[in-house]
Amino acid sequence: MRRILDRIYRQLRDSDGLDPDLSTRDLASFSVGKGIQIIRGFVWLRANVFLGPRAKILGRRSLVLGKGCTIGDGVTINAVSRGGVTLGDRVTIDRNASLLGSAVIRSVGEGISIGNGASVGAFNVIHGGGGVTIGRDALLGPFVAIYSENHQFEDPKTPIRLQGHIRKPVEIGHDVWIGAHAVVLAGVSIGDGAIVAAGAVVTKDVPARTIVGGVPAKVIGVR
C-alpha cells in the first residue's frame, strides 16, 4: 500500500516520494484527508483538484484549474476579472490565502495567472487589479502580499478613497522565492531565480538571480 501511495504522490506532485519515516498511521490519516479533498474538488469544481474545507470561490466560470492543484482550508478566490484567475498544474494555495482578480465590483480587475508547480503560502494576499503573473515553481512564504494597484492621493481636498486607482501589472518570474511577510508593490518585475528576503518591501524591479532585502528592498547578494 505504501508503494502505491508513494507512486500516486510522485505522479500528482511531480516530486520526490513520501518520507520513508512517515508512520503508517500518519500516512493513513494523510491519505484519507487527501481523498476527501479530491472528492470535494470534483463535486464542487468539477476538476481534478484538492479542495479544502471552507474555501470560497467566486466567479467559477473565470477560474481555470490545472491538474493536481491544492486549494487549502479557508482560501478565498475571486476570479471575476478581465483575464480571470488561472492556476497551472500542481499549484498549491495554502490555507487562508486570498487571490483577488478584482477587489470591488465597481472596477473589474485584470486577473491573476500562476504557473505550474508554484506554491502560494498561508495568509497570502494577491491583488490582481492591475494584473499579476507568477511563473513556474515560484515559492511564496506565509503572509506575502502582492498589490498591482495603488490609490491616487494628489488632491488633498478629496478623500483618498474617492480619487481612484493607478493600476500597474506585477510580473514574478520562474523559480522565484519570496520570503515570509514580504510585500511586492504595483509595477514591479522580479526576474527568474531571484530571492526576496523575509519582510522586504519591493518597490523596484529585481534582476534575475538577484537577492534583495530591506525596506525598501535593495540588492544584498546574487546567486
Active site residues: 151
Whole-angstrom distance, CA of residue 90 vs CA of residue 99:
16
Whole-angstrom distance, CA of residue 211 vs CA of residue 105:
37
Q: Are 155 and 162 in contact (CB under 8 A)?
A: no
Which whole-number Å values give the CA distances from 149 to 169, 172, 182, in the listed order? Answer: 8, 15, 17
Grid coordinates representing 144? 506575502
Grid coordinates 464542487 are at which residue?
44
From the CB of residue 46, how many other CB atoms can be counted at a distance below 10 Å? 10
Q: What residue type is 215 in one-letter code?
A: V
What residues pair up with 173 in beta bridges, in sequence order?
A: none
Task: For 62-92, give one letter per residue: b (16+ CB within 10 A) or e.
Answer: bbebbebbbbbebbbbbbbbebbbbbbbbbb
